[in-house]
Structure 1
């Protein structure tokens, strides 16, 4: 591939195999990095689940399927904060590792890949790279996975505090790793033996940071680099989602008319990662809006909403790009997903975070410490309305959000991540 204009002397094109799995918040940042790498003249192949494979192709990227994804219904332990992450790994991720390794090896050989770039829970990626004799690089979409004693990380079940003593943080990190290893290592080692790889301890965390570079896809304002971060770790910045993968990404005529005929509404969304909680959550939010006359745009992501619950001051849509909607909002109420948070910070909009699972508790805590949000426990029935009233009525939240907006303006996390991968590969 010819050297692109402006490339430094000695530049060489890389052939990159990118893979990820999970919800939209896991795919969109890595697709953004893939687009940046392609724009810089590198050859890209994406290995993804359906329908993300076809969405990658719509962005002009080559893509292959990771194979059929298991249908995993979120219920029982998968919906409980403390148990949810381990249950998700055991039921939805680990059973796929052998098939993922095979799919990545096939795609890598077909693409003649120089490097595999994988999401931090793409557990098969480092194994495939090792068997192929090529390097791998990790891209992490939320800072909770970067355990640090220097940074306050709030894990599910922990109180949200500004500070914890080093002793408490050491204990929390050690306990989390010990429990994860005990519940995950036996399953992963069964697959390792079948693939001819040696049995290992601490497989998940050790493999996660074993790459030639570890890319943190968030801004340092949100989670700064720490002295005890794993070697070769770099905080790159939030990644804007690539061109939105819908026929008409702009708000439709009905939504535009709603936005133009009244005060800025609140936006209510649960993203795509907690569908089990949507119906009850939306009912509570709409009940408060109806009681107070607060204008609201409800984004369901396809979840069911009883039409009788929607007040005249509200409007319901399956999906509207947040980048288009949030600049016209008074606040956003959401689950604590980092994609939603990044969009809100770029728009300078205050938030109410209602975390349910995984990294959402840590994300919500970081937003609270920035002064841009209030966190509400998902089972606190009366707390949601009070929190919305607080962030929309107290100008300090909007002021703090505008301060963060200015700090991250102009960031290009995708290009920074691409540069770091080039540097690690000597390209």
Structure 2
């Protein structure tokens, strides 16, 4: 960060002091895993006296209501969860984009209605960046910060380069990597998003853009990573200026306890910790996954906890060795688990890293392939292909994981990195300085 220079008596007005309060409009989309890091940032800003408006999908109101944040519910299409393409490796982006456009469209009238002389910063999910740029067209002093939940949201030509589920070998030259990334964007992202973005820009009297990725990288005044450098080092082709923050792990109900049913299950066989299976709170299409999970643990004689809010996805006749729970705070459950088998969502991945719990990752779409590659490279996880999954393969993956004698020690070493703190105070100060720039 460049220091401010105070020059007295030569006609240069000193900048406003850092104590000045700002209106931060915090915008996110997606599941609870997307919501919680943005809540953590919003509360950090609110707690030092800034005005904070929190814009998020309306179904998350129960999580936000007790926080004291000013909540503006955004429309959400629940039917999107049943779309079979939502978890497709390449078509998933189109489903998410189309589902989020009605919500993102609400940002523009919200900002337009604010007092024009109010100091305002938009702290947004990357998919809200096109709308943030529309807002700035009529509010030139507006500052925009983009918060990236996972490394995959910041495409790079450097390692590990994942094109969906397909890894690009390290020996592929940078020129070819750049071409591959452009081709992916031109074939998967631009056909879905550019028409909508340019229609909105034209209606606002703004020029068209030719590349979605180029446009998104150009919008923010500040980029923020919500993952640490040891998980994903800063790359030369990431946008600047950038602030690196750790995983802002957040629990809206930190004092919640495990259910009596779960406590009894965990205490039944203290020496036989269960395997925990989840495929994300937003996944309503995991019936086959949980059927394979049941077959796998029965094949090798393990106990299991199945986590999903959608009971209809599970086999109706679970044996006593498998317990279903609709929701459990992972920070309380994982220290008592043997292994976590999951989809590779960044929030779930981070919780397992903090707990020091070995992971078997079965990625489906979006950022999950990249997250899986990173925890595998750290030596704390194995991967399984969702497209080829069955009970036998899942059992084999678990046996391979449990047979790695050094795995637990590596998990503990990674877990100790969280002891250095994941505080957001440094990020809060940088956001305050952003509000004072210009």
Distance 1:139 1:307, change over 3 A: same
Partner of 2:112: 105
Do the aligned partners of residues 222 and 70 (structure 1) sit closer, same or farther apart at CA in structure 2, a change above 3 Å counting? Answer: same
Structure 2 CA distance for partners of 1:230 and 1:326, relative to 1, 3 Å: same
Equivalent-residue separation in structure 2 for 1:423 and 1:387 (angstroms): 48
**Residue number among 189, 194, 214 corresponding to 2:203 in the alignment:** 194
Secondary structure of 1:224 counterpart: coil
* Structure 2 Cα separation of the partners of residues 300 and 200 of structure 1: 41
SS of the aligned residue for 2:127 comes to coil
With over 3 angstroms needed to count, the CA separation of the structure-2 counterparts of 1:208 and 1:141, relative to structure 1, is same
Give aligned pairs, total.
Answer: 415
CA contact (8 A) 2:28 2:55 kept: yes
- Within 5 Å, give how 1:131-150 maps onto structure 2: 131-133=138-140, 134-150=142-158
SS at match of 2:386: coil
One of 28, 38, 49 as aligned partner of 1:30: 38
Equivalences for residues 134-283 of structure 1 within 5 A: 134-159=142-167, 164-179=172-187, 180-244=189-253, 249-262=256-269, 263-276=272-285, 278-283=286-291
Q: Which of 325, 329, 340 is residue 321 of structure 1 equivalent to?
A: 329
RMSD, matched Cα: 2.5
- Which string of whole-angstrom CA distances, capped at 9 and with x for unpartnered residues, describes residues 276-311 of structure 1? 2x1110111011112222011110122424454422
Deviations 1:99-145, CA, capped at 9 Å, x for gaps? 34223434x44994511110111242332243333111111111112
Cα 1:414/1:51, change in 2 over 3 Å: farther
Distance 1:301 1:420 in 2: 37
Secondary structure of 1:271's counterpart equals coil
- Could you tell me which of 106, 114, 123 is aligned with 2:120? 114
Q: How many Å apart are 1:417 and its aligned residue?
A: 2.6
Q: Which runs of 5+ in 1 are unaligned?
A: 1-8
**Equivalent position of 1:39 in the other structure:** 47
In the aligned structure 2, how far is the partner of 1:412 from the partner of 1:183?
36
In structure 1, the residue matched to 2:70 is 62
Q: More deviation in 310-319 or 235-244?
A: 235-244
After superposition, give the CA deviation of every residue in 1:306-342 in whole Å (9 maximum; x if it has no partner).
4544222111000001011001111100000000000
Q: CA-to-partner distance for each residue in 1:12-35, whole Å, 9 max, x for gaps?
A: 222211111111121111111111
Q: Which residue of 1 aligns with 2:137?
A: 130
Aligned-partner Cα distance in 1 for 2:103–2:417: 40
State the TM-score, normalized to the length of structure 1: 0.89
Per-residue CA shift, 1:144-188, capped at 9, x if unaligned? Answer: 121222332313141375665424422322212222224321222
Q: 2:260 & 2:185 partners in 1: Cα distance?
A: 50
The answer to whether the Cα contact below 8 Å between 1:138 and 1:208 also exists between their aligned partners in 2 is: no
What residue is the counterpart of 1:335 in the other structure? Answer: 343
Shift of residue 241, structure 1, vs aligned partner? 1.1
Say whether the 8 Å CA contact 1:355–1:361 is kept in structure 2.
yes
Superimposed CA distance per residue, residues 320-372 of structure 1 (whole angstroms, 9 cap, x where no aligned partner):
01011001111100000000000000001110000001010001010110111
Report whether the alignment pairs 1:351 with 2:359. yes
Structure 2 alignment gaps of length 5 or more: 1-16
Q: 1:394 aligns with which of 394, 401, 404?
A: 404
1:4 counterpart residue number: none
CA separation in 2, counterparts of 1:74 and 1:109? Answer: 40
Are 2:352 and 2:359, in contact at CA under 8 Å, matched by a contact in 1?
yes
SS at match of 2:417: helix
- Which one has the largest radius of gyration? 2
Q: In 1, distance between residues paired with 2:310 and 2:209?
A: 41
Match of 1:404 in 2: 414
Q: Take 2:22 and 2:66, find their aligned partners in 1: how far apart are those partners? A: 22
Q: TM-score, normalised by structure 2?
A: 0.87
- In structure 1, distance between residues paired with 2:34 and 2:117: 23
Please, which moves more after superposition, 346-355 or 32-41? 32-41
* Contact persistence 2:161–2:167 (CA under 8 A): no
Q: 1:85–1:74: structure 2 CA closer, same or farther, 3 Å change rule?
A: farther
The alpha-carbon distance between structure 1 residues 77 and 308, as it changes in their structure 2 partners (threshold 3 A), is closer
CA-CA distance at 1:202 after TM superposition: 1.8
Give yes or no for contact 2:276–2:307 (8 Å, CA) kept in 1: yes
